[in-house]
Amino acid sequence: MTHRSLDAVMSGFDEALLDDFDQICRLAHAKYRQYHAWALVEHDGRAAAACTYAHMYEEAMRRWGDRSGVKPVDVRGRKVWVVGDHAVIRIKKMDEDGRSRNYPTKQDKEYDLGVPLPGLPQPAVRVTVGYLLDPTATQVERVQVSRPLGKSINWCAAIVPAGRGKRWVEVTRQAGIGDI
């Protein structure tokens, strides 16, 4: 498994890619929120996340489909993007710690553990890019990049929109007494 620090991984993404992370998640959620009210009312969290994921995937393909240095890869149904030899990215809905909330499949577990998978470069670190919703699930609170390590998260960074200084800030929560 490749371990890389937060600074090393986040510094390896250029400004345009960080902008893409932010916009892919925000535009996808905004598109989902444009559904008819009767459809939104009938969707549970899982349906909302699945619809938003479909919009995120299509937006990522529009932005990265022909982009030099970013290659879409389908690994046994898992859609990811390889950024040079630097990182492998998957997109997901997240909680405040950078974890995805769905039931982890065998593929999710292998991805998180860094198990060698066909088509993925081994030196590349695996990260998850995703969105955190506000408590009402109507707005994207922030877009994040996290580094999963098995069942835990090594670190989590929030993307800071362009024009506001540093492009990311660490949001990794420290384990509290109740978390141990």
pLDDT 10s digits, 121-168: 887 899 999 999 999 999 999 999 999 988 889 999 999 987 777 889
Let me know if residue 61 belongs to a domain.
yes
Let me know if residue 157 belongs to a domain.
yes
Q: Which residue has the tokens 């039931």?
A: 103
pTM above 0.85, yes or no: yes
pLDDT 10s digits, 53-77: 999 999 999 999 899 999 999 988 8
Q: Domains in the chain: how many in total? A: 1
Let me know if residue 1 belongs to a domain.
no
Using CA atoms, how far residue 168 sits from 14, 115, 153, 160, in Å, is 12, 28, 17, 5
Let me know if residue 113 belongs to a domain.
yes
Domain range for 84 is 6-173
Q: What is the length of the chain?
A: 180
Let me know if residue 149 belongs to a domain.
yes
